[in-house]
Amino acid sequence: MRIYETDIATPLLLGTAQYPSPKVLQNAIKAAGCEIVTVSLRRETAQGTGAGFWDVIRQTGAKILPNTAGCHTAREAITTAQMARDIFETDWIKLEVIGHADNLQPDVFELVHAARVLSADGFKVFPYMTDDLVVGEKLIEAGCKVLMPWGAPIGSGQGLRNPDALRAMRAHFPDIPLIVDAGIGRPSDAAAAMEIGMDAVLLNTAVAKAGDPVQMARAMAMAVRAGRTGYQAGPMERRDVAVPSTPVLGLAELV
């Protein structure tokens, strides 16, 4: 996967919230072979973890993708992104603009506006979006070179609620990296996302809240690789009827 002129070998991105301890977080990132981790500037600042938390992340060697989690307007998101660029010295930003308090669905109008402003300001924007083709087109027009459609609401663990919409996105945007973001609960969900042609999966709660986060991170890494390999191999089409695998020719005739 190539995103904003950067080659990414591991199709699994991890969030860094809710882990039992910094050590568990570090071990989970290592077990997943994760190259990119997301960090919420607003969440960590509010919790007062400060520089110590950033040091924990930097020690993993993973590239930091700051996000604008918790922002509900384009103005909030733009300001948070600018602060994150100063702190982390990166122009990458995962853009979240939440529009619904219960299901954390993105406000796509504010999202597109913020993406346009940030792209013009030199940011490389990773937009968290719904699985909508028109929204995807508007985000690309705004300057985004990657799209991050949700699988299901954040933290729900419901898996892929609308796989047909994701397939449609893959067909409609054949040359745009697509990363399923949010809703993945099990390794089978991650594999399913990759099998339908997604380029990567971003998840957090499924690993952080597992009984053994490190083992779950390892399982998710294997799942995304298996799903990607299966997609590249060209899986057989589903059939409505049984088709025998043993040839009929050559069977004995009983008289």
Say how many CA atoms lie within 13 Å of 110 toward its Cβ. 19
205 has binding-site annotation? yes
For tokens 């110590």, the residue is 52
Across the chain, the runs of DSSP E, i.e. the strands, are 2-3, 6-7, 12-15, 36-40, 63-67, 92-95, 124-129, 148-149, 179-181, 200-203
Backbone angles phi, psi at 198, to 5 degrees: -65, 150
Query: Which residue of the set 94, 124, 145, 209 is catalytic?
Result: 94
**CA max distance for the chain:** 86
155 has binding-site annotation? yes
- The single-letter DSSP state of residue 251 is P
120 has binding-site annotation? no
CA atoms of 141 and 160, how far apart (whole Å): 26
CB 197 within 8 A of CB 170: yes
For tokens 């729900």, the residue is 156
- Asked about 94 being catalytic, the answer comes back as yes
The identity of residue 99, as a single letter, is G
CB 189 within 8 A of CB 226: no
27 has binding-site annotation? no
CA angle 112–118–121, rounded 5-degree value? 145
Could you give the 3-state DSSP secondary structure of residue 177?
coil
The identity of residue 81, as a single letter, is A
Q: List, as residue ranges, the binding site.
A: 155, 182-183, 204-205
Q: Which residues are annotated as a binding site for 1-deoxy-D-xylulose 5-phosphate?
A: 155, 182-183, 204-205
Residues catalogued as catalytic: 94
